[in-house]
Amino acid sequence: MLQTKWKFTTTISLLVILMTGNLAYAAEDFFWSEVEPILTCYKSRDGSAAEMGIEVDGKRVSQDIPSCEDARNNRVLVLLNGKYLNTYAGTGADPFIENGRTMIPLRALADGFGFEVHWDQNDKKITLNKDHKSILMQVGKSEMLVDGEKVNLDDVVPMVKNGVTFLPVRQLAEILDVKVDWDSTTRIAKFTEKS
């Protein structure tokens, strides 16, 4: 009887902790969390990069893992309304800098900003809808339509990398009237929706 009460109390306690602690939303390649992402790197005796095997969809895949110094110098953290974008190793969904612009996965951007997404595979067109705002973009094209008006993307275009569609987040955030900050020391792109 005492053991049953202990198990019940422990289970309830864990549920309460999970429900009141750091909440995270998980999707296929990413999740948002209050916890800063852990660096994916390899530290060998000589500090060099290495190769590691992981399992993706039941198949063993080799993946180059950067040295910890390279990973620290090249990673980009995305912080949206106090939650960090965390990506799963091996998915190819890590944010990166392209021509001075932060690129994040389409699905993470849509999820983070609350967009409804329509993807036209044939034309590689992306339609993002939120409230009464509509944004139409195409992979490889610098022109987009925002509520029917032409707007040019600065310096970088939507692209597919590692099978993941990436979008330049700063200009889209500014269109949505989201406050944008970049800390070059910590390499954190911070987005805060205005109330």
pTM, entire model: 0.72
Q: Which fold has domain 19-37+75-193?
A: Copper Amine Oxidase; Chain A, domain 1 (3.30.457)
d(CA 185, CA 115): 30
105-161 confidence digits (pLDDT tens): 988 988 888 889 999 989 999 999 988 889 999 999 999 999 999 999 988 999 999
User: Are 163 and 131 spatial neighbours (Cβ–Cβ below 8 Å)?
Assistant: no
Alpha carbon distance 152, 142 (integer Å): 6
Whether residue 183 has pLDDT greater than 90:
yes
- What integer pLDDT is reported at residue 69 of this predicted model? 82
Q: Please indicate whether residue 66 or residue 97 has the higher confidence score (pLDDT).
A: 97
Task: Choose between 37 and 47: higher pLDDT.
Answer: 37
Tell me the domain boundaries of the chain.
Answer: 19-37+75-193, 39-69
Spell out the residues 6+ positions from residue 175 whose beta carbon is closer than 8 angstroms to its own.
133, 135, 146, 151
Contact 103, 75 (CB under 8 A): no
Residue pLDDT, tens place only, 84-121: 999 887 788 889 999 989 999 988 988 888 889 999 98
pLDDT over threshold 80, residue 65:
no
Q: What is the mean pLDDT of residues 3-8?
A: 53
Which amino acid type is present at position 154?
D
Cβ burial 146-161 (10 Å sphere, 16+ → b, else e): beeeebebeebbbeee
